[in-house]
Amino acid sequence: SFDLTQPPSVSVSPGQTASITCSGDKLGDKFASWYQQKPGQSPVLVIYQDTKRPSGIPERFSGSNSGNTATLTISGAQAMDEADYFCQAWDSSTLYVFGPGTTVTVL
């Protein structure tokens, strides 16, 4: 089966840059998406097709994907960006594959 790994947590100071990695075998040959989930809320898509931002998602969110690693970058992190972030890829046999999630703390 295709598995994705993420660091459990990332801390960032307000206004600084946070990078969240997502690793999987030849992940760069697939496309990655990212979801933000705040406590008690449903996940929200923040990046799809590696680098694209849906309408309404701030420009400070960006994505990249190469080799075995996809990265979500939050440039100029704000307190409102505190949340869990899940990466996702597609596998034809297991369908949607999600990473275990990374908790971002802004302090």
Partner 1 sequence: EVQLVQSGAEVKKPGESLRISCKGSGYTFTTYWIAWVRQMPGKGLECVGIIFPGDSDTRYSPSFQGQVTISADKSINTAYLQWSSLKASDSAIYYCARHDSGAVRGVTYNWLDPWGQGTLVTVSS
The residue range among 10-18, 19-27, 28-36, 66-74 that interacts with partner 1, by the rule CB under 8 A, is 28-36
Q: Which of 95, 97, 73, 77 is nearest to 87 (CA)?
A: 97
Determine which residue in the list 7, 21, 23, 44 makes contact with partner 1, applying CB under 8 A: 44
Q: Is residue 2 close enough to count as binding partner 1 by CB under 8 A?
A: no
Q: Is residue 7 close enough to count as binding partner 1 by CB under 8 A?
A: no
Determine which residue in the list 23, 31, 53, 82 makes contact with partner 1, applying CB under 8 A: 31
At residue 80, φ and ψ (nearest 5 deg) are -70, -10
Question: Tokens 């990332």 belong to which residue?
Answer: 10
Q: 48: which DSSP letter?
A: B
Q: Is residue 43 close enough to count as binding partner 1 by CB under 8 A?
A: yes
Q: What span, in angstroms and rounded, lies between the C-alpha atoms of 88 and 73?
A: 15
Q: Which of 31/73 has CB closer to partner 1?
A: 31
Contact 9, 105 (CB under 8 A): yes
Sites of contact with partner 1 (CB under 8 A): 1, 29-31, 33, 35, 42-45, 48-50, 54, 86, 88, 90, 93-101
